[in-house]
Amino acid sequence: MPKVNEMHEDSYKNHENRPDLAGEHPIGDALQLIFLIVFLIANLLDILLFHTNSTIRSKIHIFIRLPIGLSLISFGAWLALKGIQIVFKDLRPNPIMITEGLFSFVRHPIYLGAMLIYLGVLSLTLSCIGGIAFIFVVILYNWLARHEENLMIEIFGETYQQYIHQVPMWIPRSLKITNR
């Protein structure tokens, strides 16, 4: 295995071959792209052809939906890009558990950011068909996250299982509604 100073980032053009990453589902990127395309097509077809939610769209004015949708999209993009920067910024000799920063609030900030972007688009379109597609997107990201967590457990064992018990998968503890 090459030493850290001998590793060159240009020799790892994609993240699949990096020795310092625990791994992801082999077809995860392709599935994410397919689900994105299906989601966008579902929203477009609903708006342009099926008009399933035109009544609700007309009652909830665009000036209400626009700031909500753009806020969700902006925050989701920030969360995903910041998470990507944390994970992929430094090339390390071996996989490490990242538990600081965003990863101290949720275990999958990149996927959460992506889902918030979808939710932002959905709040703009208010598409029933897009909403159904969004449910499948959430199922996909949950499945991908579980797969990655199993890989992390294989590598880090009990340490990662403790992390699972300490840090929520999707909703930060400070945002959870507690029963008093």
- For 54-97, how does the pLDDT look when each residue is reduced to its tens digit (9 = 90+)? 777 888 888 999 999 999 999 999 999 999 999 988 888 888 89
pLDDT for 23: 80
| pLDDT bucket at 174, cuts 50 / 70 / 90 | confident
149 vs 53, higher pLDDT: 149
157 vs 89, higher pLDDT: 157
pLDDT for 33: 98
Does residue 19 register a pLDDT over 70? yes
Look up residue 130 and give its two tokens: 């897009």
Say what the pTM is. Answer: 0.86
Q: Could you give the residue ranges of the DSSP H alpha helices within 46-157? A: 54-59, 62-88, 109-125, 128-156
Average pLDDT over residues 102-115: 97
Report the amino acid identity of residue 173: R
Q: Count CB neighbours of 62 within 10 A.
A: 11
pLDDT for 43: 95
Average pLDDT over residues 124-133: 94
pLDDT for 176: 52
Does residue 53 register a pLDDT over 90? no
Does residue 108 register a pLDDT over 90? yes
How far is Cα 83 from Cα 105, in angstroms, rounded to an integer? 12
How long a stretch of residues is the chain? Answer: 180
Q: Look at the alpha carbons of 69, 75, 79, 84 in this order and tell me if their dihedral is positive or negative.
A: positive
How many angstroms separate the Cα of 30 from the Cα of each of 9, 55, 120? 23, 35, 22
| pLDDT bucket at 8, cuts 50 / 70 / 90 | very low
pLDDT for 17: 64
